[in-house]
Amino acid sequence: MGHLAWRVIDGLLLLDKPEGLSSSNALQKARRLFSAAKAGHTGTLDLLASGLLPVCFGEATKFSGGLLAANKSYEALVHLGIRTSTADLEGKIVSQCAVDVTLTQIKTTLEAMLGEQQQVPPMFSAIKQEGKPLYQLARQGISVERKARKVHIYTLELLKRVDNYLHIVVTCSKGTYIRTLAEEIGERLGCGAHLASLRRTAVGDLQIADSHTLSALSALNESELFARLEPVDKLLVGLPSCNLSEIETRLFRCGKAVAPSSNEHCLKDGIYRIYETGKSFIGTGEMRTDALMYPRRLMAKSVTV
């Protein structure tokens, strides 16, 4: 029995990935639901993590790079008193310690961890060394030196403490490992810790509240399903917008820089979302010091918004 024909679909799906499913498998399940010819996700979530996984279909994949660099927000459960080999639930217990810390000590510790810092990625990560992911080496019992990376912790707050579990919320820069953060919290408190659960709640300006589960999507008919797709330019909501006239759009689409005639608000240098007469999204452009808007990435066709 053959599969439905793959279709050309352009749009963004905000998927709520379940715990226990890889990001790659979640992507393929979403792709099959829509029979989308081209799909990709932005920012892998660990197998044990749940939450927001933006899935890009068709032309949306052109504009997804910004999300990889975007800040991320998480809710996490940190289990004090137990260290594991992977800093999360997957690993073996390597040490246990009695927990004797006060609420004040916890809050002071979290506040001290705000800001820019150097973080050494864990061995159980997808970072590659000589072409091999570190987790493959780690599973063979091999540990190699990893370079510390600069990360930024913007918010780190305690929602509640229940026995030895801390329910925290984190907003951080790209490349931050929450497992490593959980382990460091335990070290600073002198009792050790590991990450018991993780849920991503935001990627840049995209929020978990607007996401959909695979089970909910599977229950929809085709028109309901496609109504859950966000337009391509939702990926770029953090950028200012600029409108071009019909003539300017024609030149812009041919790779020519143009001087926008109808926008006083797009005079600053930088990257913009570009629309034809405020209606059709046509791509991104860069305003430079010569007061011209240069094409960066363009849609294969205009999409009315």
The pLDDT value given to residue 1: 37
Domain shared by 122 and 159, yes or no: yes
Residue 201 has pLDDT above 90, yes or no: yes
The pLDDT value given to residue 238: 87
Are 71 and 200 in contact by the 8 Å Cβ rule? The answer is no
Tens of pLDDT, residue by residue over 170-195, are 999 998 999 999 999 999 999 999 99
- 35 located within any domain: yes
3-state secondary structure of 33: helix
Domain shared by 19 and 83, yes or no: no
Domain edge (last residue) among 157, 180, 203: 203
- 4 located within any domain: no
- 85 located within any domain: yes
Task: Give catalytic status of residue 10 as yes or no.
Answer: no
Tens of pLDDT, residue by residue over 135-176, are 666 666 666 667 788 999 999 999 999 999 999 999 999 989
Residue 38 has pLDDT above 90, yes or no: yes
Which CATH number fits the domain that encloses residue 105?
A: 3.30.2350.10
The whole-model pTM stands at: 0.89
**Domain interval for residue 154:** 72-203
Active-site entry in 10, 16, 46, 88: 46
Reported confidence tier of residue 128, pLDDT bands at 50, 70, 90: low
Domain shared by 88 and 191, yes or no: yes
Start-to-end CA distance of the chain, whole Å, equals: 38
- Torsion angle of C-alpha atoms 34, 39, 43, 49, degrees rounded to 10: 30
- 84 located within any domain: yes
Domain shared by 100 and 190, yes or no: yes
Tens of pLDDT, residue by residue over 224-250, are 999 999 999 999 988 999 999 999 999
Domain shared by 138 and 227, yes or no: no
- 6 located within any domain: no
Which CATH number fits the domain that encloses residue 261?
A: 2.30.130.10
Domain shared by 42 and 90, yes or no: no
